[in-house]
Structure 1
């Protein structure tokens, strides 16, 4: 009986410690996208990115993605309305949001096009939000 109580207490403590490590969102959640290290948005799933209001109107690079291969394909999984009303999502083949711009739609796989070997940056543009 004591072992069960000890185990329950340890589990509760561990869950509380993990909850404290989660960073709070910075503004409303606008979107979520998933990146892959291979064409076709199926193989080499490298995880997902969440996009909050604080990300709007600034160029972002793909952090913590293994290179190579980098981001070879990307799927915009969701745009969260009404928070994302008027927002447009773009990906680029460079790291400065300047080259190879492509507008994204929800649930459409976006493979990188030659001569680029991977996507380099992304931006959600929301004219109604002051960044």
Structure 2
């Protein structure tokens, strides 16, 4: 679980790092939601890594995208959206609600939902 939470934390950090540099008009609320999500994930580090082994995902960006000289804005936002969506889905499982404090989990769901909505708006703008 520690590795999984570290990975998810990194994904959340990615979601508010590169998007503003893509020229997308994200609100300050999106950045605040990302930071709150980051803090919540840190508070949720309590389970053994073995608990979530069955929920593993391969979050790697396809090699052809990494090798290209420049990622297009829409593709980058789409990848960030998909990573957040997968994180949201992972924490919406039955096991997640049994494993973590429901108050923290509800706050995490809300924050991730806000970030997903912001990125969807960003995709429309692009």
Q: TM bucket by the smaller chain?
A: under 0.3
TM-score (norm 2): 0.26
Higher strand share: 1
Higher helix share: 2
TM-score (norm 1): 0.25
| Greater relative contact order (CA < 8 Å, ≥ 6 in sequence) | 2
